[in-house]
């Protein structure tokens, strides 16, 4: 996470530089740019991009078209908070501003770990510390210090990695999740995420979309440690309808969720683990009581259905579902994500949190969210620009 924040800081500096550089009428941005980046055979997730290419494109839109004052303020606030600490391990590294930056989640059996790649040159190669590895093409960094076993696995993975020159487009971001390809297209007033079809071997049920709907795969097989109750969870499908404060000022959620597990045994382990958590939840055979609100649950094979109002969402003991045809599905009204009825004074308190205000603003500026023909489309109203709204939302996450 530390290195991730350092990369974000670097992007902000590039953005500020780009703000002035792009004022030149002679600057021409190429549609595509080539850069070298590695691919690992053991990667569960991979994403690469050229930061300066993305930043230049977004800033050009901001300067020439959008001219959103809030975006300018976000960049200024970013620049004020940037503080670099001397890192002696990186003294011999020279960053390539036109090179690629990558993020990878690598699998060593059932264990996962994250690494980042930044293009550049090093005075020496090999392990600079337990968190940094220098390669002729750039620098690899890790969230935490690697164990000897993981260091050995990374060295073997790097030795077998394929280095290829890829073509990058600022408004088309390709990434890979569980060996499947995805494409995110940034448009002026929204974005489109093209997702792969669901594998016949991984066909899970999903809820029939309602409220604000999200269905997605998860890969948490022992990822969070052996004792984590989420292990074995392979997919989640949710319809969310908002929240309210009850008479005792307890938070009540309105939702229905379908959790899919590897096996029935994993489902039972999950239920057993959450029932042993140290909290005030009251467990009953078919429901759990939290903050004076009852949430019903029902097991069906490897699936666990949980909902707030069984009279609405579990009619006759059945929930409305369908087979998934694609790995990701999202649709509905995003305003429901920040909906809180009977809030009273709590609403004023929530407004003090920048991330809540930012989510509220983004949902209010959203025209539609839909999924059709393997594409998730999130469209803003015409007066708002996707790149700027993303920067503002991302900026508040670091306040």
Got the DSSP string for 308-353?
A: S-HHHHSBTTB--EEE-SBS-EEEE-GGGGG-EET-THHHHHHTTS
Residue 242 lies in a domain: yes
215 & 104 share domain = no
C-alpha–C-alpha distance, residues 175 and 253, integer Å: 33
239 & 147 share domain = no
108-149 pLDDT, tens digit each: 887 888 999 999 999 999 999 999 999 999 999 998 899 999
Q: How many domains does the chain have?
A: 2
Residue 397 lies in a domain: no
57 & 160 share domain = yes
What does DSSP say about strands 233-245 and 340-341: parallel, antiparallel, or unpaired? Answer: parallel
56-74 per-residue burial string, b: 16 or more CB within 10 A, e: under 16: bbbbbbbbeebebeebeeb
249-263 pLDDT, tens digit each: 778 999 999 999 888
137 & 226 share domain = no
Residue 316 lies in a domain: yes
177 & 207 share domain = no
What pTM was computed for the model?
Answer: 0.79
- The confidence score (pLDDT) of residue 1 equals 42
Q: Around 340, how many Cα atoms within 13 Å sit in the side-chain half-sphere?
A: 16
Residue 390 lies in a domain: no
Q: Which domain holds residue 82?
A: 2-182
312 & 338 share domain = yes
Give the range among 155-169, 170-184, 311-325, 342-356 with minimum mean pLDDT.
342-356
- The confidence score (pLDDT) of residue 78 equals 64
Residue of 341, 327, 315, 306 whose CA lies nearest to 375: 327
More confident residue, 358 or 306: 306
SS3 category, 68: coil
182, 213, 242 — which closes off a domain? 182
């Amino acid at each position: 996470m530390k290195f991730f924040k350092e990369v974000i800081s670097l992007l902000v500096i590039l953005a500020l530089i780009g703000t002035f550089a792009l004022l030149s009428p002679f600057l021409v941005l190429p549609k595509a740019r080539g850069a070298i980046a590695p691919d690992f055979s053991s990667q569960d997730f991979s994403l690469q991009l050229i930061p300066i290419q993305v930043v230049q494109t977004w800033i050009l839109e901001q300067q020439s078209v959008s001219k959103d004052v809030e975006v300018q303020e976000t960049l200024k606030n970013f620049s004020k908070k940037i503080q670099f600490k001397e890192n002696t391990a990186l003294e011999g590294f020279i960053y390539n501003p036109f090179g690629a930056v990558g993020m990878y989640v690598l699998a060593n059996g059932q264990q996962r770990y994250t690494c980042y790649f930044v293009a550049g040159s090093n005075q020496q190669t090999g392990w600079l510390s337990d968190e940094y590895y220098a390669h002729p093409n750039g620098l690899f960094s890790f969230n935490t210090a690697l164990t000897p076993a993981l260091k050995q696995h990374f060295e073997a993975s790097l030795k077998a990695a394929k280095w290829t020159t890829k073509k990058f487009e600022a408004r088309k971001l390709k990434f890979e999740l569980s060996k499947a390809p995805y494409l995110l297209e940034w448009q002026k007033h929204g974005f489109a995420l093209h997702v792969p079809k669901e594998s016949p071997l991984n066909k899970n049920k999903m809820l029939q979309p309602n409220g604000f709907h999200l269905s997605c795969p998860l890969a948490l097989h022992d990822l969070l440690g052996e004792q984590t109750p989420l292990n074995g969870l392979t997919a989640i499908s949710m319809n969310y309808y908002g929240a309210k404060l009850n008479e005792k000022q307890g938070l009540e959620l309105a939702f229905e969720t379908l959790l899919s597990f590897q096996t029935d045994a994993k489902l039972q382990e999950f239920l057993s683990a959450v029932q042993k958590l140290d909290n005030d939840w009251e467990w009953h055979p078919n429901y759990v009581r939290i903050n004076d609100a009852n949430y019903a649950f029902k097991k069906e094979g490897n699936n666990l259905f949980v909902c707030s109002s069984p009279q609405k969402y579990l009619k006759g003991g059945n929930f409305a579902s369908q087979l998934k045809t694609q790995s990701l599905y999202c649709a509905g009204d995003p305003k429901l994500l920040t909906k809180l009825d009977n809030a009273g004074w709590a609403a004023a308190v929530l407004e003090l949190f920048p991330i809540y205000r930012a989510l509220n603003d983004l949902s209010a500026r959203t025209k539609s969210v839909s999924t059709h023909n393997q594409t998730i489309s999130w469209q803003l109203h015409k007066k708002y620009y996707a790149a700027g709204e993303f920067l503002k939302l991302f900026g508040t996450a670091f306040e």
